[in-house]
Structures are given as C-alpha cells and as structure tokens.
C-alpha cells in the first residue's frame, strides 16, 4: 500500500524543495510502512532516511524496507539527527509539514540548519497521495466497515427503553475487539432522546426511553485504517410527527447527495444537494456540519464535503456522506455511509439498512 517512488519525487518537485521532512504519524506510516509511534522520515530524490529511537530498532528493521534507518540513542533528539542529515546532504531548501511540526521543533530545526531555508508544505504534501486509495487500502477499509457493522448488529436488540447509552457503547467496542479491531475508531456516539440533538453526543449515563430517536455513530479499525458510519433507530412501533419528518428528510438528503457523486463533480455540489433538500423541508438551520469527509489512516482526512470545498471528486476516493438534522428538545437524526468512487458513480462500502427500524 506504499506510494510509488516517482509520486514521492513529484512531491519534492511540486514544492520546489530538495528534501521533505515527514513528521505526521499517519504520513510516515503511509510512506514507510512503520506502525510505531515515534519516527520521522527525511525524504530525498534518491530515497531518504527513517529516523527513530532505540525502542523501535527491531521493529523498523522489519517494517521499513526502502529507506536507510537511523537509530538515535539516549541524549539525542530526532530533530537533531534530522539537522545532521540535512547538513550532510547539503540541502538548500527543506520542506516540512506545518500542520504537524510544533513551534518548538521548528525553532530548534531552524537554529540548527542555517543557511538551509525551510518551506511549509501544506497543500501539496503526502495527504495529496493518500486522498486516492489503493486496492490494499480499500480491502482494509472494507474489513473495518465489516467489524463495525458486526458490532452494530450485535447490540441492535439491546437498543430499548431502559438501556444506558454508555453500556451500549462499551458493548459495541467489545464486539469490535473480539472481531479483530485493535480499537474503536473514536469515542463512540450513542445519543438518545433530546441528547440526539448534539451532533457529537458522546455516550453518557442517560437511559433510553420509549419513542426516543437514538443516534449511534460508530467505527472500527483494521490494519490502521478506520470506518465511520451512523444509524438512527426509533424506539417505538410507529414513527410519526416531526420525528418522522426529519428522518425522511435526512434519508432524501443523503440519497440526493450520493446521486451526485461521480468523478469530476465538485464536492460543494454534493454538499449543496443534501443541504438544499434539508432547507426546502424547513430544517436548514438545524444542519450545521459538513456533508462528509475522507477516511483512511485517519477518521477525518481530505477530501471534505462541504459548502466551501474547492476540490472535485476523483475515482478511488473514499469519503462519508452524512447529512443530519438536530432539533433541540426533540432529538436528532443522522445517517452516514462510506462510499467508494467508481468510474461513473459510487459504491457504498457500508451495508446496514438505512430505515429507522434498523
């Protein structure tokens, strides 16, 4: 699942740098295959150096095949070894990841590198390669989806009056781990009744009641890749009134957005399809977040499906489609699926039913 060397060289050329310091953990993993928590990559046109500490000497030897491994020992910092290597290679212009490198590390690097110039790589970094998924990544994402869906199916019958939100979340994560996930993708959201109006209502001690809408936002992990999906369940026999209206509106909004997904379409158009559906139903003020986001080594990563997005859809992307309506004092509805962009549309990776009965 690692990118081609030519694509990495193109990053250097696009940013007009002689080398690129990759510090973001997910980007380091994507390029090198290293799964540990501490490591920098100094990427050069001919390859580069992976720098880590002695705790990961054996692990890096097993996982990092395409780069020279530099092991630091007690008393030395990763950034100091980076500075030494940059000077050794006589790098004139060094790129770095401004969204990840701390001010302290930046200042330390700058002091140790003069006259090397530092250049922040923001819009043309490793994330631009991660945005289109490779076959192995799709396999991992699909497995992450299945692990999460198995957990939802296992707890679905437990969603009933008297059930505690927090207990449901714990039970779901236990199923995910039994199915092979190292972790849940995030703090699972189980928000019932009026708490469903909180888009990120982390599971609490509230006990569910008859005729509650229950928003369950969940995801699992597989080989470092994550899933993210949401289902809303009604605890009653007949969904009526405003609760039925917002549920059906969100269903239509998601269908409208997914129908717009195909290569070449602007993400803001997908967002507009969902947002216009909700606005025309009279609930425009109660849909405050974006319609979706990319997902992979991070739960939230580019691309972003929102009204201000400047990106367009490309074949091979994976992102969520998740409109919602959140009425204070009443509750909320969100339906979220992950889609994979094909040559002429999209294919959902998620398979759970989207009806309120679950």
Which regions of the chain are under pLDDT 50?
Answer: 358
Same domain for 187 and 222, yes or no, is yes
pTM higher than the cut 0.85: yes
The count of domains in the chain is 2
Instruction: State the pLDDT at residue 344.
Output: 95
Instruction: State the pLDDT at residue 38.
Output: 95
Boundary residue ending a domain (109, 130, 151)? 130
Contact (Cβ atoms closer than 8 angstroms) between residue 164 and residue 195: no
96: domain range?
5-130
Same domain for 98 and 185, yes or no, is no
Instruction: State the pLDDT at residue 5.
Output: 83
Residue 46 burial by CB count (10 A; 0-12/13-18/19+): exposed, middle or buried? exposed
Query: Which CATH number is 219's domain given?
Result: 3.90.230.10
Query: Which CATH number is 60's domain given?
Result: 3.40.350.10
For 201-216, the pLDDT digits (tens) are 999 999 999 999 999 9
Same domain for 154 and 302, yes or no, is yes
Same domain for 95 and 160, yes or no, is no
Same domain for 144 and 95, yes or no, is no
Contact (Cβ atoms closer than 8 angstroms) between residue 296 and residue 142: no
Same domain for 96 and 179, yes or no, is no
Contact (Cβ atoms closer than 8 angstroms) between residue 236 and residue 210: yes
Boundary residue ending a domain (95, 130, 165)? 130
Same domain for 218 and 335, yes or no, is yes
Boundary residue ending a domain (98, 130, 162)? 130
344, part of any domain: yes
356, part of any domain: no
């Amino acid at each position: 699942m690692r990118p081609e060397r030519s694509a990495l060289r193109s990053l250097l050329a696009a940013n007009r740098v002689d080398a690129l310091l990759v510090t973001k953990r997910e980007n380091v993993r994507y390029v090198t295959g290293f799964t540990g928590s501490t490591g920098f990559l100094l990427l050069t046109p001919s390859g580069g150096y992976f720098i880590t500490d002695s705790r990961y000497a054996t692990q890096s030897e097993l996982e990092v095949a395409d780069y020279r491994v530099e092991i630091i020992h007690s008393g030395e910092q990763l950034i100091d070894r980076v500075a030494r290597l940059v000077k050794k290679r006589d790098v004139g212009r060094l790129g770095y990841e401004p969204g990840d490198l701390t001010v302290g590390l930046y200042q330390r690097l700058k002091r140790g590198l003069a006259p090397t110039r530092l250049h922040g790589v923001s819009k043309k970094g490793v994330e631009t390669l991660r945005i289109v998924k490779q076959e192995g990544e799709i396999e991992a994402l699909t497995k992450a989806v299945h692990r999460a869906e198995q957990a939802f199916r296992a707890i679905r019958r437990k969603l009933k009056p008297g059930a505690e939100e927090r207990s449901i979340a714990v039970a779901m994560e236990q199923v995910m781990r039994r199915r092979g996930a190292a972790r849940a993708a995030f703090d699972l959201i189980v928000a019932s009744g009026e708490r469903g109006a909180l888009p990120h209502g982390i599971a609490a001690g509230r006990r569910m009641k008859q005729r509650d809408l229950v928003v369950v936002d969940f995801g699992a992990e597989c080989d470092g890749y994550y899933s993210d999906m949401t289902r809303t369940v009604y605890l009653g026999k007949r969904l009526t009134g405003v609760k039925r209206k917002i549920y059906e509106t969100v269903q239509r909004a998601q269908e409208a957005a997914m129908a717009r997904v195909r290569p070449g379409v602007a993400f803001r158009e997908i967002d507009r399809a969902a947002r216009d559906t909700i606005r025309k139903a009279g609930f425009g003020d109660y849909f405050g977040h974006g319609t979706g986001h990319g997902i992979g080594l991070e739960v939230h990563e580019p691309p972003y499906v929102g009204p201000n997005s400047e990106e367009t859809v490309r074949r091979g992307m994976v992102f969520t489609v998740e409109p919602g309506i959140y009425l204070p004092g009443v509750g909320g509805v969100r339906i979220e699926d992950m889609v994979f962009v094909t040559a002429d549309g999209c294919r959902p990776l998620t398979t759970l039913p989207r009806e309120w009965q679950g």
